[in-house]
Amino acid sequence: MIAKVVPADRKPDVAAQFPQGMTTPWDWNVLRSRLRLVSGLVMLSFVLCHLTAHSFLLVSLARAEAALDTLMYPWRTAIDALWSIYVRRYLRLSRWEGWQLGLGLCIPLLLMLHVTGTRIAESVLGVTSHYSSVLIMQWQLSPWLGVLQVAAVLTVWIHACIGIHFWLRTKTWYTRWRALFVGLGLLLPTLALSGYVTAGNQVLRAAGDPGYTRLSLENSNLTDQKRAQIVRIAEAGSAVYLALTLLPFVGRGVRGWLYRRRRPPLLSHSSGRVLPVLPGATVLEALRENGIPHASVCGGRARCTTCRILVTKGLDRLPEPSGLEARAPA
C-alpha cells in the first residue's frame, strides 16, 4: 500500500498539464493568493486612514478636515470576493469564512451612496466634499444615511479584523501581540464613531441657524438637483453590483451542469464513505460539502498545513507538489 501525507487544500497541479521538464511561466494560484492578501492590506490601510481622520472629529471639524486631507491624500487617485465564490467547487464554508465573505459582499452596497456622494460627485458633478456638508446630509437632511454610515463602518472593520486574525493566527509571534491587536480593533472604531456622533450633534445644533445649512451646501456646490443625481448614480451602481454578484453563481451553475455530465473522480475516506469530487475541488472542500469535519486553521489557503491527509491509494496518479502546496510550511 502506498502512503503519503499531503495538504487537504491541494488543488490539481497546473504544471502537470505540461510535458516533462516544462513549467508554467507563472502560477495563477500563487499570484491570486498574493493579490488577495495585498488587496486586503490596501483596503485595511485605507480604512485605518479614514477612521483615524474621523477620530479627530472629537477635537474639531477643522482638525478633522486637516487630518482627512493629509491621511487620505495617497488615496485620491482617478473583485476578489466574487472570484472566490466562483472558483470554489462547493460553497459550504466554516463559520468565520461565511461571515467574512458575507460581510465583504455587503460592503459595496453599504458604501455606494457615500462613495457616490463624495469621490464620484467630486469627479463627475463638480461637488466639493467637506465634513460639514457630509454631516448635514447624514444628520439633518437624510438621517437614515447616518445609520447606513455606522453600519458600513462596523461591517468594513469586522470584515477586516476577521481577515487579519485568520491571516496572522498561524504566526508564532501573534499570540504575544494578540491583546494589542484586540485593543486596537476595539479602540479605533470607537474613537471614529464617537467623533462622528460628536460632530453630528454639533451640526444639528448649528443647523438651528438656517444660514449655516445653506452656506455649507453652497460651499460644497451641493444643490437639490445634484443630490438627486447622486441618488440616481448610486442606484445604478447598486444595480450593476448586484448583477455582477449574480454572475459567479450563474457561472457555478453552468460549470456544475457540465461536470455532472461527466463521471467525477471518487475519494475514499477513512470513515468508509466514498465521495464524488468535482474537478478542481480540494479534498478539504469535498469533505466540508459532505459534512465530514477536518482541521483547517487557515481555511484552506495553504498557509498552515493543519489539513494534511494521508494518501494510501492512487499516489501514482498525483502530480508533484507545485505552487501554493510547494510553498506551504512543512
Give the pLDDT confidence of 201-230 residue by residue, as tens digits: 988 888 888 788 888 888 888 888 999 999
Cβ count near 274 (within 10 Å): 9
**Domain ranges for the chain:** 4-26+264-327, 42-257
**Above 90 in pLDDT, residue 48?**
no
Residue 222 CB burial class (10 angstroms; 0-12, 13-18, ≥19):
buried
Question: What pLDDT score was predicted for residue 329?
Answer: 65
**What are 304's three cell numbers?**
498552515
The letter for the amino acid at 325 is E
> What pTM was computed for the model?
0.63
Q: Please report which helix (H) or strand (E) contains residue 4, including its range.
A: strand 4-7
> Residue range 244-269: average pLDDT?
79
**What are 254's three cell numbers?**
453552468
Per-residue pLDDT of 106-157, as tens digits, reads 888 888 888 888 888 888 888 888 888 888 888 988 899 999 999 998 998 9
Question: Which is it for the CA torsion 157, 162, 167, 171, positive or negative?
Answer: positive
**Above 80 in pLDDT, residue 5?**
no
More confident of the two residues 94 and 148: 148
Cα–Cα distance measured from residue 123 to residue 128, given in angstroms and rounded to the nearest whole number: 9
Residue 4: pLDDT band with limits 50, 70, 90: very low
More confident of the two residues 21 and 181: 181
**Above 70 in pLDDT, residue 179?**
yes
DSSP 215-271: HHHHHTT--HHHHHHHHHHHHHHHHHHHHHHHHHHHHHHHHHHHHHTSPPPEEE-TT
Q: Taking the CA of residue 58 as centre, how many other CA atoms within 13 Å lie in the half-sphere pointing to its CB?
A: 13
pLDDT above 90: percentage of residues in the chain: 12
DSSP 142-190: -THHHHHHHHHHHHHHHHHHHHHHHHHTTSTTHHHHHHHHHHHHHHHHH
**Above 70 in pLDDT, residue 68?**
no
- Which of the 8 DSSP states describes residue 18? S
More confident of the two residues 169 and 83: 169
Question: What pLDDT score was predicted for residue 28?
Answer: 60
Residue 80: pLDDT band with limits 50, 70, 90: low
Cα–Cα distance measured from residue 310 to residue 329, given in angstroms and rounded to the nearest whole number: 17
